[in-house]
Amino acid sequence: MERGSGATQSGEGPAVFEPVIVAFLCNWCACEGADAAGRARLELPANVRPVRLLCSGRVDPQHVLEAFACGADGVLILGCRPGECRYREGNLHAMKRVALLRRLLGPLGVETERLDLEWVAAGEGKRYAEVVTGMVESLRALGPLKPQSASTHTTAKAPDARTKVEL
Amino acid sequence: MCRIGVYICECGPNIGRTLRLPALVQSTGNLTGVVRVRRVPVLCGREGLDFLGEEIVAQGLDRVVVAGCSPREHESTFRSVLERAGLNPYMLQVANIREQCEWVVRDRDQATGLARRLVAGAVARVRHHEPLLPSEIAVSTDVVVIGAGTAGVRAALTLAGKKRVVHLVERLPCVGGKVPLYEDVFPGMACAACVMDPMLDELLHHDGIRVHLMSSVEELLGFKGNFTVRLLQSPRYVDPEACLGCGACVEACPVRVPDEWNPGLAERRAVAVPYPGVLPSLAVVDPRHCLRWQGEDCRACEEACPFDAVRFEEEARVQEIQAGAVIVATGFDLSDPGRFPQYGYGRLADVITSFELERMLNSSGPTGGRVLRKDGTVPGHAGFVLCVGSRDPRAAPHCSEVCCRYTLKFLHRILAQGAVDRATVFHAGLHLPGGASQDLYRALEGNPSVHFVRMGAPNSAGILEQNGSLAVRFPDEEGRVRSHLVDMAILAPAMEGASGNRELARILHLETGGTGFFDQGITLLDRVEAGREGVFVAGCAAGPTDILGAATGGQAAAGRVLSELVPGETLRLEPVTAGVDETLCSGCAVCEGLCPYGAIERKDDPPRIMVNRVLCRGCGTCAAACPSGAVHCAHFSDGQIAAEVEAMLGREDQGERSKEKGSRIAG
Ligand SMILES: Cc1cc2nc3c(=O)[nH]c(=O)nc-3n(C[C@H](O)[C@H](O)[C@H](O)COP(=O)(O)OP(=O)(O)OC[C@H]3O[C@@H](n4cnc5c(N)ncnc54)[C@H](O)[C@@H]3O)c2cc1C
């Protein structure tokens, strides 16, 4: 059975580290963008676990910390381009939260590259493919999330951290 | 214990070429709560849908997962199957194994591994789903129209013709917009008052139309079918029931200030009847200039009024209106040619705007219809300078559409009344669409008094004073600087969105383009789309147009409202909204400022917030920000999201563990 972090892909050649990425997708843009990538039959890495939300502004810092605690090597939040948010400014709130969250992740032993926020519009299948492929590649280079850092921070501890990232 | 059925759609030949479906079926069968896994050739087809419905009943399922195409395609189809089979439609989760797996991952093992995780995520999530019920609310079919120009009035009358209650909001003390101030109108040279007055009369006497003069929209809450509009009405200080517009007060008023209805041409008093022929014919006191607001106890107008109509004690009024739709018909303003100092506007006495010429030509205007220079003499030679600001990317990139045509109108009028001996039109290509305006042009061809001179580029002329005349200078098409002497220069300034449109855009949550028009929602097939459900835009508010275009826009916007809001029909509200656990809410109201819809209201005793489910759209930004986990989000709860994430990462879903609400802080 494939596992989360640290899994290697089957096939020939030397084993490569295959990161697992949780991608929170806005229903109105990024989700459509991901579907557009599919309709265009673009090739995507199998490393991404998409979670559909109504808005990138729904992503609670808690969700991000939980994903890391459960073994994600990276978390990607994809929202509408600024000015195009279905709910006006949810994407901008997400941006502020990500900025603060990245500062908290350092001390928790999670490299900031492991959390990213990008804008992907509904028709942008190609951009979706580039964003997820880019993140997979950079995490392949970075290696697995060190177990002694994040996984000791269980979900139970996370709420202490999140009180500082109210927005 | 849940009874989950998982249905894996093969989507004809689309799913299963890369994915190993037998392996997917097998692993899915081992997931907690799953009692049934079936492969179906085409689930969205008639047979597939019938099969799904029968399965739900026969297997006694309480939750369903469909693994197949994007939820965009058939989530709603499958939800209705659940509903028909007696299940709540929200007990469904769709795993997108087509667009986000089969079609994009090439390696068979990797694709199968990913599909397993996607299905495991959906199964874990659906275990946390709760039945949700939509609510039906009545819609208001009343309409607020902002702006009482040609477009707004046409819209109001069209709506009222179908018995809709219309609130027509106009910031000026009168109706009609710009057109009643003109003398005649192209293309047919009809008299402006003859065109407008019957329509405005009908408006003011219509039972179904409430005209709110001197009013502005201060706030718009809600959405299509359910708007709450807050209006602020400034006091007129004159009782409209008592006043006849006789003007006795005006004569008595000792104050004289420049008249904005006749810019540069006349003065008015602090109490005034806006212009001759104005509708409604009522006086209005201007507190910016009236002596009473400068600390003096002047009562001249009050004493002069034969009808006791003056009301100094009147106050501003705030009013809330419920409406189902809003039509924005705020028209245009001419841009200030003073922005381009080379034209000398404001500096050279006989450089005027087209609007000022309109007022001079108006037979009941300040000069009684005569065209006069500032020194009172008649100009021998009039120069019309087109594209002042228009079609220039550094100023207004658009064509203002009506200037070439109203210039032809001016030519016909001034030649007919012998107001000038000669006229020269400085243009950068004439825009004369339609047969009637071509006729206007042809009728001037060969007329020795009229010259059309072509400039090299729009917005490229300059005007200098030369021996008591004006020299209009511009580079011609070869780049040679040319100069023509005229006695009076009439500028055609670019039209731009009405002043105040940007503020109004903020209030209505719309966007304006660079020149202040509400043109951001317009598509090739739709000129009244404003970019927000239930809000439409008509006339020059959407961009430059002529009277016919404005009237048509008003009718079109009204038509959209009539077809979209039907009396007796209800609006189904999605149950996916936020909610609050009052026992956890501390009333900090962090969420209140974040809500884009004003759906969160703060309450006291004890301090807490409440979510207005009519206004909430379920985006969840409040839930994401709540520091105490008190705000939750239906169908996108923390527990549902966490279960999906954990299962997709291969963690065993911890079953009954609920991470909703309090357990998060209790942690
Ligand atoms: C000099 C000149 C001559 C013209 N001659 C002709 C002609 O001969 N024939 C022709 O077809 N067209 C002519 N036009 C064009 C014509 O004026 C417009 O097509 C017409 O006025 C458009 O009507 P409207 O209702 O869109 O806007 P407007 O006439 O501008 O009316 C808009 C109304 O909205 C009100 N308003 C604005 N903002 C607010 C707010 N925030 N809240 C409440 N109310 C607000 C305004 O006070 C105004 O009453 C001419 C234009 C110019 C400049």
B426 CB near ligand 1 (under 6 Å): no
CA of residue B594 to ligand 1 center, whole Å: 37
Residue for token pair 């949810």: A90
Query: Stretch B559-584: mean pLDDT, rounded?
Result: 92
The pLDDT value given to residue B572: 80
CA of residue B503 to ligand 1 center, whole Å: 19
Spell out the domains of chain A, with CATH numbers in brackets.
17-143 (3.40.50.960)
Quick one: pLDDT band at residue A14, thresholds 50, 70, 90? Answer: low
Among chain A residues, the shortest Cα distance to B69 is held by A35
Whether residue A93 and residue B594 make contact (CB cut-off 8 A), yes or no, is: yes
Q: What is the pLDDT of residues A125-160, one digit of tens each?
A: 999 999 999 999 999 999 999 855 444 444 433 434
- B523: number of Cβ within 10 Å: 7
Q: How many CA atoms lie within 13 A of B73 on its CB side?
A: 18
B74 CB near ligand 1 (under 6 Å): no
Q: Which residue in B641, B651, B653 has the most chain A C-beta atoms within 10 A of its own C-beta, making it the best mutation to test that interface?
A: B641
- Judged against a pLDDT cut of 90, whether residue B613 lies above it is answered with no
Query: Stretch B468-494: mean pLDDT, rounded?
Result: 97
CA of residue B222 to ligand 1 center, whole Å: 29
The pLDDT value given to residue B19: 97
Question: Distance (Å) from the C-alpha of residue B109 to the closest C-alpha of chain A?
Answer: 8
Give the number of the atom of ligand 1 that is nearest the alpha carbon of residue B546. Answer: 19
The pLDDT value given to residue B199: 98
**Percentage of residues in chain B with pLDDT exceeding 90?**
91
Q: Are A94 and A29 in contact (CB under 8 A)?
A: no
- Please name which of B334, B2, B18 lies closest in space to residue B10, comparing C-alpha atoms: B18
Q: What is the pLDDT of residues B71-116, one digit of tens each?
A: 999 999 999 999 999 999 999 999 999 999 999 999 999 999 999 9
B168 CB near ligand 1 (under 6 Å): no
At what angle are helices A125-142 and A30-39 packed, to 10 degrees? 100
Q: Which residue in B97, B110, B129, B649 has the most chain A C-beta atoms within 10 A of its own C-beta, making it the best mutation to test that interface?
A: B649
The pLDDT value given to residue B339: 95
The pTM assigned to this predicted structure is 0.74
Q: What is the mean pLDDT of chain B?
A: 94
Are B143-226+317-331+503-564 and B333-496 the same fold in CATH? Answer: yes
The pLDDT value given to residue B250: 98
Homologous superfamily of B143-226+317-331+503-564 in CATH?
FAD/NAD(P)-binding domain (3.50.50.60)
Helices (H), B500-654: 501-508, 547-564, 590-594, 621-625, 638-648
CA of residue B149 to ligand 1 center, whole Å: 6
Quick one: pLDDT band at residue B661, thresholds 50, 70, 90? Answer: very low
Q: What is the pLDDT of residues B349-389, one digit of tens each?
A: 999 999 999 999 999 999 999 999 999 999 999 999 999 99
B455: three-class secondary structure by DSSP:
coil
The pLDDT value given to residue A153: 43
B221's CB contacts (< 8 A; 6+ apart) are B227, B228, B597, B598, B615
Q: Measured between alpha carbons, how far is B566 from B99 in angstroms, rounded to an integer? A: 39
Q: Which of the following CATH numbers is that of domain B574-662: 3.40.50.360, 3.30.930.10, 3.30.70.20, 3.40.630.10?
A: 3.30.70.20
The pLDDT value given to residue A143: 94
- Please name which of B226, B520, B487 lies closest in space to residue B380, comparing C-alpha atoms: B487
Query: Stretch B393-409: mean pLDDT, rounded?
Result: 97
- Judged against a pLDDT cut of 70, whether residue A13 lies above it is answered with no
Q: Which of the following CATH numbers is that of domain B333-496: 3.50.50.60, 3.40.50.280, 3.30.70.330, 1.10.3720.10?
A: 3.50.50.60
Write the residue with the smallest CA distance to atom 4 of ligand 1.
B406
Architecture label for domain B4-126: 3-Layer(aba) Sandwich (3.40)
The pLDDT value given to residue B571: 82
Whether residue B641 and residue A41 make contact (CB cut-off 8 A), yes or no, is: no
B139 CB near ligand 1 (under 6 Å): no
Q: CB of B109 within 8 Å of any CB in chain A?
A: yes
| ipTM score for this prediction | 0.87
The pLDDT value given to residue A161: 39
Q: What is the pLDDT of residues A66-106, one digit of tens each?
A: 999 999 999 999 999 998 898 888 999 999 999 999 999 98
Contacts of B648 in chain A (CB under 8 A): 22, 49, 51
Contacts of B114 in chain A (CB under 8 A): 46
Q: Are B55 and B38 in contact (CB under 8 A)?
A: yes
- Judged against a pLDDT cut of 90, whether residue B334 lies above it is answered with yes
Query: Stretch B431-459: mean pLDDT, rounded?
Result: 96
B213 CB near ligand 1 (under 6 Å): no
- Judged against a pLDDT cut of 70, whether residue B666 lies above it is answered with no
Whether residue A35 and residue B617 make contact (CB cut-off 8 A), yes or no, is: no
The pLDDT value given to residue A158: 41
- Judged against a pLDDT cut of 70, whether residue B612 lies above it is answered with yes
- In chain B, where the domains are located: 4-126, 143-226+317-331+503-564, 248-304, 333-496, 574-662
- Please name which of A24, A42, A30 lies closest in space to residue A121, comparing C-alpha atoms: A30
